Amino acid sequence: MQAKTLGELKATNYISLSVKDELRKNLITQLQQKELGFEGILGYDETVIPELQTAILSRHNVLLLGLRGQAKTRIARLMVNLLDEYIPYVAGSEIFDDPLNPISWFAKNEIEQKGDNTPILWLHRSERYTEKLATPDVTVADLIGDVDPIKAATLKLTYNDERVIHFGLIPRAHRGIFVINELPDLQARIQVALFNMLQEKDIQIRGFKLRLPLDVQFVFTANPEDYTNRGSIVTPLKDRIESQILTHYPKTVEISRKITFQEAKLTEEQRLIEVDGLLKDLIEQVAFEARKSEFIDQKSGVSARLTISAYENLISNAERRMLINHEKSTFVRLADLSGIIPAVTGKIELVYEGELEGPAKVAHTLIGKAIKHLFARYFPDPERAKKSKTANPFTKITEWFTEGNTIDIGDDLKFDDYKKKLMNVEGLHELVQKFHPKLSENQTLLLMEFVLHGLAEFSQLSKNYLTGGFGFSDMFDSLFNVDLTDEDEDDFR
């Protein structure tokens, strides 16, 4: 049973710890018991998490430095799980004073007046986390506090009395974790105001000789891009943040895929839509291609939110087709990749060359490169097959298009129409059956569509971007009949 007065708390031999010691104590227990900390953070097991654990054991304030979409804020929020479940505080205290170590005038006066009968309340760890997004309009008063003239008038006190101070966010985070996101966006003079709290662990408000030895675990996040584009972390402040930890994007498609499935918000109906592993890997590969594309500003980064949004759009595009066609079920097709374009274009920052190409065309290029990268997992390299002395497995398919045949695969096709169009392409079904004979009908059709995209990326076929889908035709025929008007070019911009 939790103590309700200071006397009862003392009787339990309760020992007060600073927030940094508390985090350290609980982390030690976690490590000794080999428990998994920071659940839901993937890909950092050998890099970021060990470094963060080292910083906590060292009782350091932390700067998480990395590009957007690298889970910096989520890591900070999960640090709350290393706090004790409940801690006692003096009832009525604005800054949750420790009953055994009060620092505010209110708490000291309460204990002086009531002694062991001072009422005690208990604070859950979820309430010991404070987060502030740094913006240029943040003031010292917001973070630290200011004199409240209304308090002074109401209580009939002079401005030299501690009781007239209205505390800011940081004093109210006393005995907790305080996070400032995008630290470089704070004005330099505001950053200077943080010096004392990191070094001397006290606050200064206007001309007050006020010393409040605040107990706060600071976590800062920053994007390296901000150092040059929007602001910087002033050197003396950066010097006072003891541990700087570099975050990064997922290093493998497998890890990226796990993150996407974990974070994607799908309805129960959407979860019933069949999605082949090929499509899942394609979505992730688009992000990997974007992170090395010459059209995209790599200093800005390509957020993990790109693949999450793209995956949600991919499923929703298939769901939309199912609803329009009054079908009871469907599976995701490559034609549905046309639905991820808005998710891609909204998550990339283009350099000058990319702006000339246009965001939609850059997105299509990324999808094409992803298809080309994965094609070798499923089929022979079309370029090598063409030069090989042995029979080219793609010959029947390309010859069918050479004869003047074309195929348009829209993302709204009914299943029977979709199947009929693909089965009409001579040699396509036989090719997939040859290399993947034990697949379901849906998987077979998907790979048949994949072959067309792959041959287009290897310049064996021509691929046209339709409104909601793709069209395929003979490569040479399209070269001689191409007629790009100004309007056509504008479609890519």
DSSP secondary structure, 38-98, as one string: STT--S-TTTHHHHHHHHHHTT--EEEE--TTSSHHHHHHHGGGGS-SEEEEETT-TT--B
Compute the chain's Rg from CA coordinates. Answer: 30
Q: What is the pLDDT of residue 204?
A: 67
- Rounded to a whole number of angstroms, the distance between the first and last alpha carbons of the chain is 66
Q: What is the pLDDT of residue 329?
A: 93
How far, in Å, CA of 493 to CA of 490, rounded?
5
Q: What is the pLDDT of residue 488?
A: 45
pTM: 0.85
How far, in Å, CA of 329 to CA of 371, rounded?
26
How far, in Å, CA of 58 to CA of 63, rounded?
14
User: H-helix or E-strand containing 120?
Assistant: strand 120-124
- Neighbour tally for 39: CB within 10 Å: 9
Q: Are 146 and 186 in contact (CB under 8 A)?
A: no
Q: What is the pLDDT of residue 489?
A: 42
Angle at which helices 395-402 and 428-435 cross, to 10°: 170
In the numeric block, which tokens belong to residue 181? 């996101």
Nearest to 24 by CA among 217, 208, 207, 287: 217
Q: What is the pLDDT of residue 162?
A: 73
Helices (H) and strands (E) in the chain, counts: 26, 12
- Where does 351-474 have alpha helices with state H? 352-357, 359-378, 382-387, 395-402, 415-424, 428-435, 441-457
In the numeric block, which tokens belong to residue 4? 């309700």
Contacts of 392 (CB under 8 A, 6+ apart): 385, 386
Nearest to 407 by CA among 389, 394, 425: 425
Q: DSSP secondary-structure letter at 182?
A: S
Nearest to 250 by CA among 238, 262, 240: 262
How far, in Å, CA of 42 to CA of 259, rounded?
7
Q: What is the pLDDT of residue 490?
A: 47
Return the domain boundaries, the chain.
6-246, 253-490
In the numeric block, which tokens belong to residue 200? 């001397």
The Cα diameter of the chain in Å comes to 99
Question: What does the pLDDT look like over 64-112, one tens digit per residue?
Answer: 999 988 999 999 999 999 999 999 999 999 999 999 999 988 999 999 9
Q: Show the low-confidence residues of the chain (pLDDT under 50).
A: 228-229, 482-493
Phi and psi at residue 284, in whole multiples of 5°? -65, -40
Angle at which helices 359-378 and 277-290 cross, to 10°: 130
* Total number of residues shown for the chain: 493
Amino acid identity, position 418: Y
Paired strand residues for 217: 177
Q: DSSP secondary-structure letter at 102?
A: -
Q: What is the pLDDT of residue 484?
A: 44
How far, in Å, CA of 312 to CA of 207, rounded?
54
CA atoms within 13 A on the CB side of 26: 16
Q: Are 271 and 322 in contact (CB under 8 A)?
A: no
How far, in Å, CA of 332 to CA of 339, rounded?
11
Angle at which helices 19-32 and 48-57 cross, to 10°: 130
- Tokens 């891009």 locate to 225
Class level of CATH domain 6-246: alpha beta
Q: What is the pLDDT of residue 480?
A: 52
